[in-house]
Amino acid sequence: MTAARGWVAFVLLAPGLTMLTLFLLVPLGLIVVISVFTYSPTQIWLPPVTTANYVKFFDPYYLGVTWTTVRIGLVTTLVCAVLGYPLAYFLARLRSRWLGLCLFLLITPLMVSSVIRIFGWLVILGRQGLVNAALGAVGFARVDLLYNEPAVVVGLTELLLPFMVLPLMTAIETIPRSVEEAARNLGAGSFALFQRVLLPLSLPGLVSGALLVYSVSISALVTPALMGGRKTRMLGNLVYDEVLTSMNWPFASAIAVVLLIVTGAVMATYLRTMRVLARRVGRP
């Protein structure tokens, strides 16, 4: 019986494990291998192993782009958490026919191409856009709202906010209303209720949403390219340029490996910090 269950489990897992191996693990392995090859203008890369690609990455310019990438990812995650938690709480406690409509409105933007959505922001935030037109109408000078870090954060936040709201909403729905009522009956104010009850119990959803938002934002390509311009470069843009413009696949692979390491390090630090905060906010 045990052997039969083992075979059933293997048969069920085999397709997924095969796809994971072929389309994730094998490409990652190839990227790591190519990152230590030598660049060749005629053959793209040559077998002689070298660390020159990683040494090149420690140039101040590339380190600055790395810090910009991490900073934009963290700020986007924070903004999504601040904006997403109240919305997730509202949706989790909404018990009416409007819930389906609200969820539809939340998810609908995900069905629209990110390029189209970004061009919408260009129309709103551009020098001749709606915001500057409104400022000019009331006598204020036009301001540059595009091609900087805040513009990239705005674009990524609008794009990734549902990825924060949905896990948080699921976590908050598991918190019984009676728990909130009991806390209020014991004299807890709104802030104490959030700090001592809601936040600790919804922390798994917050962590899940934060990991989703951060992992996607730190590897963004289209949003920083269109809303950040040449002034705001992220690691994804560097990989794109090295692959399609310079044809330097070994250096592009090295950048991709560094991006993977940076993403893993920041996510591990974040998870550890959230565990510490969970223990602290849970104390009376």
Residue 192 to residue 190: CA distance in whole angstroms: 6
Structure confidence at residue 218 (pLDDT): 92
pLDDT (tens digit, 9 = 90+) per residue, 68-82?
Answer: 999 999 999 999 999
Residue 36 to residue 53: CA distance in whole angstroms: 7
User: What b/e string do you get for 32-52 counting C-beta neighbours within 10 Å, with b at 16 or more?
Assistant: eebbbbebeeeeebeeeeeee
Structure confidence at residue 283 (pLDDT): 46
Structure confidence at residue 162 (pLDDT): 94
Q: Using pLDDT thresholds of 50, 70 and 90, give the confidence band for residue 83.
A: very high
SS3 content of the chain, % helix, strand, coil (to 5): 75, 0, 20
pLDDT (tens digit, 9 = 90+) per residue, 147-204?
Answer: 999 999 999 999 999 999 999 999 999 988 888 888 888 888 888 888 888 888 888 8
Q: What angle do CA 192, 195, 199 make, to 5 degrees?
A: 140
Q: Which residue has the tokens 């909130």?
A: 180
Residue 216 has, within 13 A of its CA and on its CB side, a CA count of: 23
Structure confidence at residue 282 (pLDDT): 53
Average pLDDT over residues 247-273: 88
Q: Which range among 166-175, 214-223, 259-268 shows the weakest confidence by mean pLDDT?
A: 259-268
Average pLDDT over residues 22-33: 90
Most confident residue range from 13-22, 214-223, 268-277? 214-223
Strand partners, 44: 40
Residue 249 to residue 245: CA distance in whole angstroms: 10
Structure confidence at residue 246 (pLDDT): 86
Instruction: Tell me the domains of the chain and their CATH numbers.
Output: 62-281 (1.10.3720.10)
Helix (H, G, I), strand (E, B) or coil at 232: coil
Q: Are 109 and 121 in contact (CB under 8 A)?
A: no
Structure confidence at residue 275 (pLDDT): 76
pLDDT (tens digit, 9 = 90+) per residue, 100-147?
Answer: 888 888 888 888 888 888 888 988 988 888 888 888 888 788 888 889
pLDDT (tens digit, 9 = 90+) per residue, 28-66?
Answer: 999 999 999 998 887 878 888 889 999 999 999 999 999
| Contacting residues for 24 by C-beta, under 8 A, at least 6 apart | none
| Contacting residues for 14 by C-beta, under 8 A, at least 6 apart | none
Q: Using pLDDT thresholds of 50, 70 and 90, give the confidence band for residue 284.
A: very low
Q: Using pLDDT thresholds of 50, 70 and 90, give the confidence band for residue 269.
A: confident
Q: What is the pTM of this model?
A: 0.87
